[in-house]
Amino acid sequence: MNPVCIAIISNENSPLLMQTSTAYKSSELDLMFLAHSSLDVIEEKLTVRSTGVDQRELYLGQLYPTEQYKIYGYVTNSKIKILVMTENTSQNIDQEVKTLFKQLHRSYAQLMYNPFYQPGDKIHFPSFVKYIEDILK
Amino acid sequence: MAKAIQEREIGLDLFAFLHGEVYSFVTRTGTDPEQQSTKLRAMGIRAGQVLQERLNLEAPRTQDEVDIVRFVCRDVWTHLYLKQIDKLRTDNKGAYYLIDNEFCLIKQVSDSMQYLRDLPLFLEFTCGLIQGIFVQFGISAIVTPEVTHPPMCIFKVQIHNVK
């Protein structure tokens, strides 16, 4: 799995953190646009009761495919959205992405323990940003 | 296993102790009771928000407010107070009554009129905690304590916007 971009978006759909891997820095704007448009897909997935999908699962699966990337979504119970974009490969990386999401969710929960972090604020803690950068390497 | 339970009980004792100290600190430093209760409630809300995120790592997606109330009664109460809420009642108009027959933070208070006036302020933190959990779920609720026969206490959760 090759994640190229990780985004954390608040319950009011404002970006809390968005990191792109160094190799993809030049297409950051494209990725931002993709992240923005995938919010609509998430919204739809949460409201429309589609059949065959486990509604009680926090992991939403692949949101939509593009030529270059695969976009996966995850929404916590507090409506925090986490997006992971990977290179488009033919391999099935569902399980890997799922574990990554669990990890990210756990780190976000730990971030909340920080007394200087107000929920809904942008994340600007070097240790957390570094942690995300390490995943993207 | 027994050791784990023992450790959790020590944790609960420490929490109760700290909670008591916070209460006495807040009541000693301010004179305005309104301000004191806002302060305690704000602390509770913050703690509730963190706790919600922490306890929801493995939990399934919540469907409606009943799920959230159940989450508070079961998961939050066992996590903090090592027991579940004893009784849950609703008036079907958006109000829930969480009844704890022996709320551990006021376990030592006997059933008399002696502290009835002070108890609502003492329970303000816990009210804030429940409120914070609802806030984090995206629902605005007002939580008020009702104590008539300590150590039994009732938390009334009035839900405002039903989305």
Amino acid letter, residue B73? C
For residue B159, what is the enclosing H or E element? strand B153-159
The tally of CA atoms less than 13 A away on the side-chain side of residue A85 is 27
Sign of CA dihedral B109, B112, B114, B115: positive
Of B60, B63, B136, the CB nearest to A78: B136
Domains and CATH numbers, chain B: 2-159 (3.30.1380.20)
pLDDT of residue B112: 80
pLDDT in 10s for each residue of chain B, 163 residues: 678 888 888 989 999 999 999 999 998 887 788 889 999 999 999 999 999 999 988 888 887 888 899 999 999 999 998 889 999 999 888 899 999 998 888 888 888 888 888 888 999 999 999 999 999 998 889 999 998 888 888 999 999 865 4
- Average confidence (pLDDT) over A110-124: 88
What is the spatial distance between Cα A99 and Cα A59, in angstroms, rounded to a whole number? 10
CA–CA distance, B121 with B37 (Å, rounded to integer): 6
Chains A & B: contacts with CB separation below 8 Å: 45
Q: Furthest-apart CA pair in chain B: how many Å?
A: 46
The highest-confidence range among A67-71, A115-119, B17-21, by mean pLDDT, is: B17-21
Interface contact A50, partner B, CB < 8 A: no
Chain A positions touching B136 (Cβ under 8 A) are 77-78, 119
Angular region, B92: left φ>0, alpha ψ -120 to 50, beta rest: left
The pLDDT of A50-68, averaged and rounded, is 76
User: Who contacts A32 (Cβ-Cβ below 8 Å, separation ≥6)?
Assistant: A18
Q: Do B60 and A102 touch (CB under 8 A)?
A: no
Hey, are the CB atoms on B52 and A79 less than 8 Å from each other? no
Look up tokens 């027991």; give the residue: B83
In this prediction, residue A88 carries a pLDDT of 84
Confirm if B44 and B127 have CB atoms less than 8 A apart: yes
CA distance from start to end of chain B = 42
- pLDDT tens readout for residues B23-48: 999 988 877 888 899 999 999 999 99
Best B51, B72, B136, B137 member to test A by mutation, with max A CBs in 10 Å, is B136
Is the pLDDT score of A52 beyond 60? no
Average pLDDT for A3-29: 89
Nearest to B85 by CA among B152, B8, B132: B152
Give the per-residue pLDDT at A54: 64
Contact A56 B60 (CB under 8 A): yes
Show the domains of chain A with their CATH numbers: 3-136 (3.30.450.70)
Chain B residues inside the 8 Å CB shell of A109: 50, 53-54, 56-57
Count each helix (H run) and each strand (E run) in chain B, helices first. Answer: 6, 4
Residue A59's DSSP bridge partners are A74
- How high is the pLDDT of residue B88? 92
Cβ partners under 8 Å of residue A129, min gap 6: A17, A19, A123
Q: Which of A18, A13, A128, A34 is nearest to A79 (CA)?
A: A13
Q: Which of residues 107-146 of B touch A (CB under 8 A)?
A: 136-138
Give me the phi and psi of A22, to 5 degrees please: -55, -35
Q: Does A107 touch chain B (CB under 8 A)?
A: no
